[in-house]
Amino acid sequence: MKNNSGFTLIELSIVLVIIGLIVGGVLVGRDLIKAAEIRATISQLEKYNTATNTFRNKYNYLPGDILSSQASAFGLYNVTGANANALAYGNGDGILQPENDGGYTEGYSGEFAMFFLHLSQAGLVDGMYGAGGADTHLNGATTTGGSYNGGIGYPQATATATTTTMIAELLPPAKMGKGNFFMALSDYSTNYFALVGMSNISGAGSSAIVSVNNITPLEAYNIDKKIDDGYPATGRVFAFNANTANITGQSIVVATTNGCVVFPLTNNYNVGDPNFNNKGECALRFNFQ
């Protein structure tokens, strides 16, 4: 007689149940981590909004937009001289503006670039942002490398750090990670925060960084739903296509050329399409409160 050893059906069932529990636990854990990152990112936004209002109550101007004379009196970064107002360095009009150099609107420059620098200098945000030494936009000199009207340009002539490190010296990284950052901008007369990915055009040490879509439709929907109404074209939170939108003073509308929203265009995030749901198809803007 031979003894045939092997697993019984009961033993196999137990093993499969254990494997299922492990896989389920990993998936649940991953979802919990993502949810925590989104909550932390929303908390960041709320802190920046509060810091902005605190700055305005204390100095009577928005950070970045504060008059150069007032900024100087309070020990904040300022640009003086004949070109200061023309280049949109602290003109006190209540609207954040990029540099307008000879009729060409630069990207990440002017009051945009001074916004988080002023909040940092006022001690209203953690860390120090916007003080990049090679930033020719912040001293009113001729730009080196140029910037890009279709995105957010930042000339960095002597950058040696990695791309992410370089950008993180200028803008606060979002808690959700994945190369997303917060910026403060304007759309005509409306000031807002933007949550966008940032990418160096030609790799570390190149001349400019540009905005890119880096948020999935599901992440965008969850953020919008927790803050606003959950729709990409209404309320306080809007979706836009950072890959093609001109965010240097032009109108931003919901993108129709990528997978962020349902196409043909409806007022819904594209959360049901598996071809786009796990891809960075969205950027978000949040109107000041």
- Domain definitions of the chain by residue range: 35-287
Please report the pLDDT score of residue 55 as a whole number: 97
Written as one letter, the residue type at 73 is A
Which residue shows structure tokens 């196409």? Answer: 263
Please report the pLDDT score of residue 119 as a whole number: 94
Asked if 248 and 194 touch (Cβ cutoff 8 Å), the reply is no
Q: Per-residue confidence of the chain (289 residues) as pLDDT tens digits? A: 555 566 677 877 888 888 887 877 766 677 777 888 999 999 999 999 999 999 999 999 999 899 888 888 998 887 766 555 555 578 888 998 876 655 545 556 678 878 998 999 999 998 888 754 334 344 333 333 333 222 333 333 333 344 566 677 778 999 998 889 998 988 778 899 999 887 654 443 344 556 788 899 999 999 999 999 998 888 889 888 776 544 433 334 444 556 888 865 667 888 887 777 778 888 898 999 8
Please report the pLDDT score of residue 101 as a whole number: 54
Please report the pLDDT score of residue 278 as a whole number: 78
Please report the pLDDT score of residue 154 as a whole number: 38
Structure tokens at 199: 């990418």
Please report the pLDDT score of residue 21 as a whole number: 78
Please report the pLDDT score of residue 87 as a whole number: 53
Please report the pLDDT score of residue 127 as a whole number: 83
Angle at 250 between CA 245 and CA 253, to 5 degrees: 55
Please report the pLDDT score of residue 238 as a whole number: 87
Please report the pLDDT score of residue 16 as a whole number: 82
